[in-house]
Amino acid sequence: MLAPGERPAAILNALTIDVEDYFQVSALAPHFPRAGWDGARSRIERNIDRVLGLLDDADTRATFFTLGWVAERYPGLVRRIADQGHELASHGYAHHRASELEADALAADLALSKAVLEDIAGVAVVGYRAPSFSIGKANDWAFDCILKAGYRYSSSIYPIRHDHYGVPDAPRFPYEPRSGLVEIPVTTARMLGRNWPAGGGGYFRLMPYHASRWLIRRVNRVDGRPAIFYFHPWELDPGQPRVAGLDAKTRFRHYLNLERTEARLRRLLADFRWGRVDEVFLQEPR
């Protein structure tokens, strides 16, 4: 029971980072074939170290959904993530969309990425996020693969309408698509008969900061639920190489406000309480 004048503790939200380099983004795939990734100028180490510094400054722990491809080439980076108390989770091996793979290929990808991460970091990996939120009604069978591979949770659904992903009528809060597996959708706020993106990504760079803050506060206060928020390391890197020949939409989405992201994240870390996905969602009743 609260003492007179005492305010309730702020809700603990989940902060997540999708660990991939700028040349591994799905929208840039035509310009960076996987066969040439090893020859691309990587910026993942400097960007992840920058993220780790931000989190350390804010005394915050987060979940890092990490590509197995990155982990194999930068094992020290993955160990730093785990050694600093963050949760290590899987983003697949080589950023293949789940919707592009047959069941056997997805099962192999899930098993390989989990094994690589666990072998390098020496920690259990229980979470998975499909690249580009690529699980939907057409490949709902993917949840069977995730469960069979030994994961306890997925965060692969964004309940919005988007031209590349999204399941607008999916549950907005954690649910069990299969017994023993929890799906933790990226956060949306429900207003005016539709879901509004409140969980980060490009929307965090597109919208003014106060809009993102207002939406997350609405979920915390009106729904009384924790939010799950995500960003990419390359979104803090305005100095990344500019790719020639991009269409206007892709160029706008990828490069918009990169120079403002770090300052916005510092405000976000100060305005809300943040933690790892496993400590925020795997403990709460559903």
Provide block-wise average pLDDT over 10 residues at a time, the chain (286 residues): 48 98 93 96 98 98 98 98 98 96 98 98 98 94 98 95 73 97 97 93 94 97 97 97 92 92 98 98 70
With CA atoms as reference, report the closest residue to 211 among 239, 234, 191, 225: 191
Task: Check residue 7 and report its DSSP letter.
Answer: P
Measured from the Cβ of residue 38, the count of other Cβ atoms closer than 10 Å reads: 9
Q: What pLDDT score does 4 carry? A: 44
Place of tokens 């995500």: 230
- Calculate the alpha carbon distances from 33 to 48, 145, 219, 236, 240 in Å: 23, 26, 39, 23, 18
At position 128, the amino acid (one-letter code) is: Y
Q: What pLDDT score does 252 carry? A: 86
Q: Which CATH superfamily is domain 12-281 in?
A: Glycoside hydrolase/deacetylase (3.20.20.370)
Q: Residue 271 in contact with residue 11, Cβ under 8 Å?
A: no
Strands (E), the chain: 12-19, 63-66, 87-90, 127-128, 153-154, 175-178, 181-183, 188-191, 194-197, 228-231, 273-275
Q: What is the pTM of this model?
A: 0.94
Q: Specify the 3-state DSSP secondary structure of 191.
A: strand
Q: How many residues does the chain have?
A: 286
Place of tokens 């929890």: 182
Q: Residue 169 in contact with residue 161, Cβ under 8 Å?
A: no
- Calculate the alpha carbon distances from 60 to 12, 134, 191, 252 in Å: 11, 28, 30, 31
Domain extents for the chain? 12-281
Q: What's the distance, Cα to Cα, between the start and end of the chain in Å?
A: 23
